[in-house]
């Protein structure tokens, strides 16, 4: 059973997922400790909560539409790389801006982002995604209350299920970005030595794999939304509840990994199991 589960790959997956969550909590704590955020007020009614949540849902919908249109009309790898760089820039800058003056944060952001495109291997690719996703998760997590985050996760889980199993446009977008040599998420190798492999090579091999996977991938949303939830729990409740979310999410990663390596699914919407276990972990943490 241990061989079937591919423990080394699972350990790598858990470690990388945990890296993003811990980094987001660290950045979120910095925002909270330095009072860079104002804690949102709890909505008085469900309708008020829906109104507060609507702008974020609209922003996510617009971003998805822009990405679909971009992939359809801008097919060159260069334009795809520019698009990716602009997206990553925002999240990375949030992380550095939490700890350094704006000018130094900008310089560090440009330096790290440049490394990804000058030496595009698995390590540099994952590094910029770690920072960008943690930054976005931390920033939004300090602005949205837990109750609204849970509602958001439920809505997006339903969307993720439809986008993968019904319309399948999420699978198409994933493959389009791989064809351009740009995975929209982190790349998880089974062996540390593979961290030096060129990201375009990895993308090509991923598209060709039909049976045993030498790499696994986690999409950006599958990392950012649990991080957002954990930081929101940290801001509103405390470290115990934040850790409840993180450990619950880790259980979700184990479930996803098992479903993939046991070949039960070729493509799997990761957010539904992640959201379910994260919410369960949060609820259990309220007992302590």
In tens, the pLDDT along 223-273 reads 999 999 999 999 999 999 999 999 999 999 999 988 888 776 667 889 999
| pLDDT recorded at residue 3 | 46
Whether the pLDDT of residue 207 is over 80: the answer is no
* Measured distance CA(200)–CA(189) in Å, rounded: 14
| pLDDT recorded at residue 183 | 83
Residues 6+ apart with CB under 8 A from 189: 12, 122, 195, 197, 214, 215
In this prediction, residue 46 has a pLDDT band, given cuts at 50, 70 and 90, of: low
Segment 23-39, tens digit of pLDDT = 999 999 999 888 666 66
Strands (E), the chain: 185-189, 215-219
Segment 48-98, tens digit of pLDDT = 666 767 776 777 777 667 766 666 666 666 777 777 888 899 999 999 999
Q: Which two tokens stand for residue 66?
A: 């822009």
| pLDDT recorded at residue 263 | 72
């Amino acid at each position: 059973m241990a061989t079937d589960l591919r423990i080394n790959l699972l350990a790598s997956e858990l470690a990388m997922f945990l890296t993003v969550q811990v980094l987001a909590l660290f950045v979120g704590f910095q925002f909270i400790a330095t009072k860079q955020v104002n804690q949102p007020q709890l909505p008085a009614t469900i309708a008020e909560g829906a109104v507060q949540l609507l702008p974020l849902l609209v922003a996510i919908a617009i971003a998805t539409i822009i990405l679909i249109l971009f992939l359809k009309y801008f097919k060159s790898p260069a334009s795809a790389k520019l698009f990716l760089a602009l997206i990553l820039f925002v999240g990375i800058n949030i992380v550095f801006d939490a700890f350094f003056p704006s000018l130094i944060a900008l310089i560090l952001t440009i330096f790290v982002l440049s490394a990804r495109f000058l030496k595009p291997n698995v390590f540099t690719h994952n590094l910029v995604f770690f920072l960008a996703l943690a930054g976005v998760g931390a920033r939004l997590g300090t602005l949205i209350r837990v109750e609204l985050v849970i509602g958001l996760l439920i809505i997006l889980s339903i969307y993720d299920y439809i986008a993968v199993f019904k319309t399948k446009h999420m699978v198409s977008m994933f493959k389009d970005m791989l064809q351009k040599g740009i995975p929209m998420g982190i790349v998880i190798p089974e062996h540390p030595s593979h961290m030096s492999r060129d990201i375009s090579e990895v993308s090509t091999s991923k598209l060709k794999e039909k049976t045993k996977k030498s790499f696994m991938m986690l999409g950006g949303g599958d990392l950012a939304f649990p991080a957002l939830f954990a930081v929101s729990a940290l801001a509103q409740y405390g470290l115990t509840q934040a850790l409840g979310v993180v450990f619950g999410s880790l259980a979700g990663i184990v479930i996803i990994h098992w479903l993939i390596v046991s070949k039960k699914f070729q493509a799997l919407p990761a957010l539904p199991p992640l959201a379910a276990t994260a919410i369960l972990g949060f609820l259990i943490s309220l007992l302590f």
